[in-house]
């Protein structure tokens, strides 16, 4: 455990240095802030941590065996009433097990704002898509399942209503350049391009409001560009940022000039540069006397199937109800998640139309790790990796279960000072085209979280406990839990 001791020592030294710097800045500028130290541990009866104890935790809960952990958080936010200001944040965690250890820098960013615009640089927790962000099974494209990626982002966080529209319509969006992990099979220095645009129809005071928009994600670049067995250019040069970036941000097809396979290989030369994917989202919010209803639908696009209506049945469908209450049941979320169509099995022939289908969500031929970051899915955790289950360990496919049908229930309640959160799902795993599971493999997963304040230790101190189980055909039945305590430092 020498490596583990070194990690603990490192986090304490970082904490001491950072807190001294933040203390000076906070006292001098009277900023809002948060800081805490946490520690705890987790247990599992099998080789995997129960699903709803680790999913959508921004990578902080390990998939593997029982562990101990310690973490640190420190944030310095904007001053109230300032049109222009800056802030920063850092959160880190170390996980220790009998045979392994890991240090996670979950957040490390600096941000600044001017009017409605904000720019940030670094790692920062983030979810994208119309959904219930606190209790959903996970937004399809960016769910908060993986460790945040380092990125540069320009964003309008809150819906902005232009004056000439009388407040009836409002808009927000973002534009990002990010970096994937360097140690990816066969191809390194892979970049992320991301943008989104969402609108709201209806004034904030109206009882009914409509939402809609889209997000666009692209994996591109790499030291070995656009790998393909029939690729004729084998120089292995880095991506040409100036000439390639235009095709990346516009999604313009390279096939218009007959396909530049000499530069990009057959996979991209007859299609689009990089791996393009995202969702088109719609939603409706209804204010009732008893609470607020939110309906949402995320439709998936990846290989043109949505444009042609081939995979219209795929997507995330959700209903969220938030009660106007301070005690008892506060919120309930029901979701239906379906990715079984993927444009169909495809036809025969050599035309693009005949080959449409078998979209193979989250997998990609040019980027073997697919839509993942540090071996965790960036999108919905219900689409599982081969390292997370015992489904198909010999296939060597990153996402060996991307044709999924799942029913999900989320509950939030407050009883006295005890806050409870329940997540449960019934999933049907079909596998992927060419490697289907017959019969379908079913899995029931559930997780219950309990947390309460500990004012006798310190104002803001909190105790948190989770228990969960998985049972079914995905893997051996497993039961587990974790416990942690968080104490403010300033």
Where residue 359 sits, what CATH number does that domain have?
2.40.160.130
- Rounded to whole angstroms, the Cα distance separating 292 from 218 reads 35
Distance separating alpha carbons of residues 211 and 199, to the nearest angstrom? 6
Residue 486: per-residue pLDDT: 95
Structural domain contains residue 327: yes
> Per the domain annotation, does 64 fall within a domain?
no
- Alpha-carbon distance 319 to 317, whole Å? 7
| 96 and 7 Cβ atoms separated by less than 8 Å | yes
Q: Is the pLDDT of residue 192 over 70?
A: yes
In 3D, which of 451, 460, 456 has the Cα closest to residue 489? 460
Least confident of 101-115, 335-349, 461-475: 335-349
Total domain count, the chain: 1
Q: Report the pLDDT value the prediction gives residue 237, as an integer from 0 to 100.
A: 44
Measuring CA to CA, which residue among 66, 55, 62, 46 is closest to residue 138? Answer: 55
By residue count, the chain amounts to: 490
> Which residues constitute the domain of residue 455?
111-226+274-481
pTM: 0.87
Output the CA–CA distances (angstroms, integers) from residue 186 to 183, 219, 263, 471, in the order listed.
9, 15, 18, 36
Task: Judge whether residue 329 has pLDDT over 60.
Answer: yes
pLDDT (0 to 100) of residue 18 = 52
Decide if 344 is inside a domain.
yes
Look at residue 344 in the predicted model and tell me its pLDDT.
79
Pairwise CA distance, residues 87 & 132, whole Å? 26
pLDDT value at 53 more than 70: yes
On whether residue 18 sits in a domain, the answer given is no
Query: If pLDDT is split at 50, 70 and 90, which confidence band does 254 have?
Result: low
Q: What is the mean pLDDT of the chain?
A: 85
Has residue 4 got a pLDDT over 90?
A: no
Integer Cα distance of 276 and 357 in angstroms: 15
Region 341-369: mean pLDDT is 71
Q: Is there a contact between 428 and 437 (Cβ–Cβ < 8 Å)?
A: no
């Amino acid at each position: 455990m020498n490596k583990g001791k070194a990690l603990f020592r490192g986090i304490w030294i970082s904490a001491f240095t950072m807190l001294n710097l933040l203390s000076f800045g906070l006292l001098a500028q009277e900023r809002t802030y948060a800081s805490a130290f946490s520690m705890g541990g987790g247990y599992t009866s099998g080789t995997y941590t129960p699903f709803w104890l680790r999913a959508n935790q921004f990578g902080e809960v390990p998939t593997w065996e029982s562990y101990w952990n310690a973490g640190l958080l420190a944030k310095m936010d904007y001053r109230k009433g300032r049109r222009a200001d800056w802030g920063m944040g850092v959160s880190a965690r170390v996980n220790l097990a009998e045979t392994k250890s890991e240090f996670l820098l979950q957040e490390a960013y600096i941000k600044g704002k001017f009017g409605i615009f904000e720019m940030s640089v670094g790692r920062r927790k983030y979810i994208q898509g119309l959904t219930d962000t606190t209790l959903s099974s996970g937004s399809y494209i960016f769910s908060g399942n993986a460790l945040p990626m380092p990125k540069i982002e320009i964003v309008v966080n809150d819906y902005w209503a232009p004056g000439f529209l009388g407040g009836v319509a409002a808009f927000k969006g973002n534009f990002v350049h990010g970096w994937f992990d360097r140690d990816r099979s066969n191809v390194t220095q892979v970049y992320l391009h991301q943008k989104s645009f969402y609108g709201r129809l209806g004034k904030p005071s109206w009882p009914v409001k409509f939402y809609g928009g889209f997000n666009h994600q692209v994996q591109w670049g790499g030291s070995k560009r656009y790998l393909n067995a029939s690729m004729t250019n084998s120089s292995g040069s880095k991506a040409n940022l100036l000439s390639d970036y235009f095709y990346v941000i516009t999604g313009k097809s390279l096939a218009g000039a007959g396909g530049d396979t000499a530069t990009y290989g057959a996979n991209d030369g007859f299609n689009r540069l990089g791996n393009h994917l995202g969702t088109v989202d719609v939603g409706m919010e209804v204010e009732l006397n008893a609470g607020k209803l939110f309906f949402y639908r995320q439709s998936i696009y990846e290989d043109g199937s949505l444009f042609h209506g081939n995979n219209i049945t795929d997507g995330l469908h959700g209903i969220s109800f938030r009660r106007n209450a301070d005690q008892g049941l506060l919120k309930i979320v029901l979701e239906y998640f379906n990715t079984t169509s993927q444009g169909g099995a495809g036809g025969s022939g050599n035309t693009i139309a005949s080959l449409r289908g078998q979209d193979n969500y989250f997998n990609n031929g040019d980027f073997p790790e697919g839509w993942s970051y540090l071996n965790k899915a960036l999108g919905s955790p219900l689409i599982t990796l081969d390292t997370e289950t015992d489904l198909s360990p010999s296939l060597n496919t990153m996402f060996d279960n991307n044709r999924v049908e799942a029913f999900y229930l989320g509950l939030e309640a407050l009883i006295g000072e005890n806050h409870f959160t329940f997540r449960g799902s019934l999933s049907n795993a079909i596998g992927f085209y060419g490697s289907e599971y017959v019969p379908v493999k079913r899995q029931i997963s559930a997780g219950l979280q309990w947390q309460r304040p500990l004012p006798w230790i310190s104002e803001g101190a909190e105790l948190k406990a989770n228990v969960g189980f998985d049972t079914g055909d995905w893997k051996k039945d497993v039961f587990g839990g974790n416990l942690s305590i968080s104490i403010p430092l300033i």
